Structure 1
């Protein structure tokens, strides 16, 4: 990037706007807004700016990923259900050539069999699942270390 500030795009997929009320026994009681606030504080400590987004639309997520090319230094993505279905999101992440950290609040491998496969994992530099909201902070820490070593 030409500026001195590293930029991380944080993408959240379908139904994550319902965090805090949807199956809190699986996804926790924090809202997406709570996660945004915590991650923003951590990003400030690193001197990183975040572009935090959520969509229930696959096409919108693909557009945001493509728009990040040349603008973002890393992408944290919780593709939610699109992990298991979206070749389009996987291909967009691969095409932009930006380091990707994939995050899942729950352990997708301990859940229903259809959740065990993620198309995104094949193009991610790291995958975190089952760490709850802390997974976002782990992903941020990882990406900051990757950006710093480039």
Structure 2
């Protein structure tokens, strides 16, 4: 069965209360509920995790990649600072999509660079929490295609 790991980095546990003008009012639990319904409808296993620790996020990426699962990752601020996350995605050849709730390109200059984008199959940003759903809908057919080739 196809599996998708949705991995969330620092401060995303505050979603729904942190800067609602930028990130909206939906909580991370609300995002998980929406994706779980989508996963059930698509017959996809969903793993949903959040951590404020970079090393733990690296481990989550490695576990997903080694298992052959797709990765939808909102690394938060680590997107702009972490070579380790980039290396984890590349190291396990993870099929990954980078996600951001806000349009990072319309924000501060330091948010315009991503270490992960070059090793991801795509980047989705600026659609609020729907960015997660768009990424899920994009990664599932890619995983199914990869699984069909392996069969």
TM-score, normalised to structure 2's length? Answer: 0.94
Q: Deviations over 1:87-121 (max 9, x none)?
A: 00010011111210110000000000000001111
Equivalent in the alignment of 2:60: 64
Q: Is the 8 A contact 1:19 1:30 kept in 2?
A: yes
Match among 84, 94, 97 for residue 98 of structure 1: 94
Match among 122, 139, 143 for residue 143 of structure 1: 139
Name the one with the larger helix percent: 2
Equivalent in the alignment of 1:12: 8
Specify every segment of 5 or more residues in structure 1 that has no aligned partner in the other structure, as ranges.
Answer: none
SS at match of 1:69: helix
Q: Deviations over 1:12-58 (max 9, x none)?
A: 00000000100000000000000000011011111001110000000
TM-score, normalised to structure 1's length? Answer: 0.94
Q: Distance in 1 between matches of 2:122 and 2:65?
A: 19
State the Cα distance separating 1:126 from its structure 2 match: 0.9
Q: Distance in 2 between matches of 1:60 and 1:118?
A: 19
Equivalent in the alignment of 2:17: 21
User: After TM superposition, what 4+ stretches of structure 1 lie above 6 angstroms from structure 2?
Assistant: none
Specify every segment of 5 or more residues in structure 2 that has no aligned partner in the other structure, as ranges.
Answer: 147-151
Match among 96, 113, 116 for residue 117 of structure 1: 113
Q: Is the 8 A contact 1:101 1:124 kept in 2?
A: yes
Match among 122, 125, 129 for residue 129 of structure 1: 125
Q: Is it true that 1:45 corresponds to 2:51 in the alignment?
A: no
Q: Could you say what the CA RMSD is over the residues aligned between the two structures, in angstroms?
A: 0.9
Q: Deviations over 1:53-107 (max 9, x none)?
A: 0000000001111122332420000010000000000100111112101100000
Q: Is the 8 A contact 1:8 1:72 kept in 2?
A: no
